[in-house]
Amino acid sequence: MSIFPTQYSTLNASALGIYLAEKYGFTNLSCRLLVRNVSDTYILQDANDRYIFKIYRDAHRKLDQIRGEVELLQLLKEKNIGVAAPIPDRTGDIIQQFQAAEGIRNGVLLEFAKGKAILLPDDKQLALIGRELS
């Protein structure tokens, strides 16, 4: 029997952790699903650091758009602007591809942004964002 068309699948966190540990050379890596949404977000942790792995849905973000996002993040990082930059795997690839039930899903490993989420920035925080982006 063939796979029935699927609109929404979630990659298994344990299997993803094993795959990413091999691709990036991590040891003792844990992986868990953090947010299931338009793009699924996983948090990875080894003995020293935490990382974010973002899986995109093709229906919401095409490969060329992901490449553009990666390029922008790399440029901002080069300009010393505080972003969670993408991390290349051991072969230099930044975008990982997975054959999911609904088709190809693309993923990117990102640095972990320390701190806390701010839903409504105040004037001081908005000024800081403005300086960073200028």
In this prediction the pTM is 0.85
Contact 129, 71 (CB under 8 A): no
- The reported pLDDT for the residue numbered 6 is 78
Q: Classify residue 4: in a domain, yes or no.
A: no
What CATH number did the domain enclosing 125 receive?
3.30.200.20
In whole angstroms, give the CA distance from residue 84 to residue 112.
6
Per-residue pLDDT of the chain (134 residues; tens, 9 = 90+): 877 877 778 999 999 999 999 999 999 999 999 999 889 999 999 988 999 999 999 888 999 999 999 999 999 999 888 889 999 999 999 999 999 888 899 999 999 988 777 788 899 988 887 887 76
- The reported pLDDT for the residue numbered 90 is 97
Token duo for residue 115:
């701190």
Domain count, the chain: 1
Chain Cα centroid distance, residue 119: 20
Q: Classify residue 7: in a domain, yes or no.
A: no
Range(s) of the domain holding residue 49 = 13-133
In whole angstroms, give the CA distance from residue 69 to residue 75.
10
